Chain A
C-alpha cells in the first residue's frame, strides 16, 4: 500500500533531512571505532596520529582475549541450538494445540522477556551456586537458553500461524506420517523464520553481559572481558574487538538474508 504526504515537497524534504540526521546518530558509534582500532597510539586520540594493526595483533596474541572469544562462541552456538529446538516445539504446541492451560503456557514463555535481566541473573546465580555450576560454561548456556527462548517462540509461532496447514494435510493424504510431513513440508516452509530466530538467539547470547558476569566466575565470556577492559584499562584493543564484532554480525546478517529469503524445500 502507498501512503502519501498531502503537503507534498517541503514536508517530504524535512522528513528526509530528519531521517538522515537520525541515521547519522545511529551509525556514529559504529563508524567511530574503526579509525581508533587502526590507531598507532595507546591513547584515545581522534583522529589517530598514525596507523597500525597493533591492537588487532594484541587481541590475537592474548590468550585471555582469545579464550573469552572462543568461550562466547561455544556458549552462543550451544544456547542457539538448545533454544531453537525447545522454542520451535513450544511454538508448534501453542499454535497447533488446543488444551486447557495454553494461555498460561504462552504467558510463561513470554515472561523471560519482561523480567529484567539483572533479576534473572541473581536468581539463577543463587541457584547455580548451590548446584556448583558457577564458572561452568554449560551453566551460562542454560541461562542464555532461557533468555533466548521467547524470541524463538515469537518468531516461529508467527511463521506457523501464516503457514497453510492444508499443505501438511496434503502430504499426509499422500501417505506421509505426521512427523515426516512436518519435517519435509512444514519446516522447510518456515525455514526463513527459523534462521532468523537462530540468528537472534545467537546474538542475544553472544552479546549478553549481565548473566555471564554472574555465572562466569573466572571463566570470562567476551562481553565480560570487554566490560572489564572498558572499566579498567580502556586501550584500543576494545576498538579492534568492536570492529571484529561488527564485521562478524554483518557477515551473519548477509547469510541470514541469503538463506532467510528463499523458502525452497531441500533436495
Chain B
C-alpha cells in the first residue's frame, strides 16, 4: 500500500487537492460508468416493485404459497450445492496444496479447463451423460446392472450434478490458498504435544483453514442462489429456482412489478447470507 503511516491521534488535514487526489480522480470515469449502467438501472428496477405506491407485489412474493415454496427451494438447493462443493472440494484442495509440483499442475489443469469451458457446453454434455438414453444409463442397461433407466435428468439430482460441476472451482480456490497458508510448524507442535492425527486436523488444521471455508461457501452460495442456465436446462421445468421464475415473469407475463419484487426478495436473502458470512470472517474485502 502506498499509504503513509499515520500516527494515531494525529490530525490529517483534508484539503480538496492533495498529492493523493490524483488517484481519486482516476476513479471518476469507471465510477460514472457504473453509476449510469449499473446502479441506475438496478435502482430503477427497485422502484418498479413498488410502482403505484403499492406493496402488493411483495405481499404476493412473500405470502403466496407457490412463490414462497420456490424461494425456499432455491435456498435449499443453494445450501445443498454449497455443502457438496465444500465436502468434495476440501480434500481436492488439500491434494493440490500438498502434492508434488508435477501432480499439482496436473490437478490444476483438470480443474481449470472445465472452469474456463462454457457453462452451456458443460450443461449440454451432462444432458448427454445423464439422460434416459444417456451414456450412464446405456452402460447400466447393457451390463444388466439395472433393468430400467435411472432418472437422472429433469430432477434435483441432475441440477445438483450440473451446479456442483460449475461451482466446485469457486470453492477449491479459496480453500487451496487457505491450506497453503497453514504453518506446518503448528501441526508439528500439536503433534509434539501428543495430539492424534484426527485431533491435529480437528483442533489445529481445520480451524486455520476456516477463512477459506467461509470465503468458498459464501461465494458458492451467492452464485448458486441466482443460477439460471443449469436449473433451466437440467431441471426440465420440474426444478424451479427463483431466477427461472423471474425470467418467466418478465418474458412471458411482462409482469415487471412482480419480477422486481422477486428480485429484491432474492437479493435480500443473498445479501443476508453474504453479510452473515462476512461477519463470521471478520475480514475486509481484499482490496479495501
Contact = CB atoms under 8 A, between A and B. Distances in A.
Interface in B229-263: 229, 233, 243, 246-247, 250-251, 256, 259-260, 263
B165 interface: yes
A179 to B, nearest CB: 10
Interface stretch (B52-60, B63-71, B150-158, B177-185): B177-185
Contact of B3 (A26, A46, A98, A230): A98
Given A1-B184, A99-B21, A110-B285, A145 B33 contact: yes
Contacts of B285: 106-107, 110
Contacts, number: 275
B101 to A, nearest CB: 11
B267 A29 contact: no
Interface residues of A, number: 94
Interface string B94-130: 1101110001001100111110111111111111110
Interface string A208-247: 0110001000000001001100110010001101100110
Contacts of B184: 1-4
A5 interface: yes
Q: Which of B30, B45, B98, B225 has the most CB of A within 10 A?
A: B30
Interface of A: 1-7, 15-16, 18-19, 22-23, 25-30, 32-33, 36, 44, 46, 86-87, 89-100, 102-103, 105-112, 114-120, 122-127, 142-143, 145-146, 149, 153-154, 157-158, 161, 165, 178, 203, 206-207, 209-210, 214, 223, 226-227, 230-231, 234, 238-239, 241-242, 245-246, 249-250, 253
Interface of B: 1-3, 14, 20-27, 29-31, 33-34, 37-42, 44-45, 48, 88, 91-92, 94-95, 97-99, 103, 106-107, 110-114, 116-129, 131, 133-135, 138, 165, 168, 179-180, 182-184, 187, 191, 197, 200, 222, 225-226, 228-229, 233, 243, 246-247, 250-251, 256, 259-260, 263, 266-267, 270-271, 274, 285-288
21 contacts: A3-B97, A6-B197, A18-B92, A25-B165, A26-B168, A27-B113, A29-B129, A30-B117, A36-B128, A44-B128, A102-B288, A112-B38, A116-B267, A119-B42, A119-B246, A123-B263, A178-B22, A207-B119, A210-B243, A226-B124, A230-B120
Listed from nearest, the 10 A-B pairs whose CB atoms lie closest are A116-B226, A97-B23, A29-B125, A93-B27, A99-B24, A123-B45, A242-B121, A86-B30, A127-B41, A96-B23
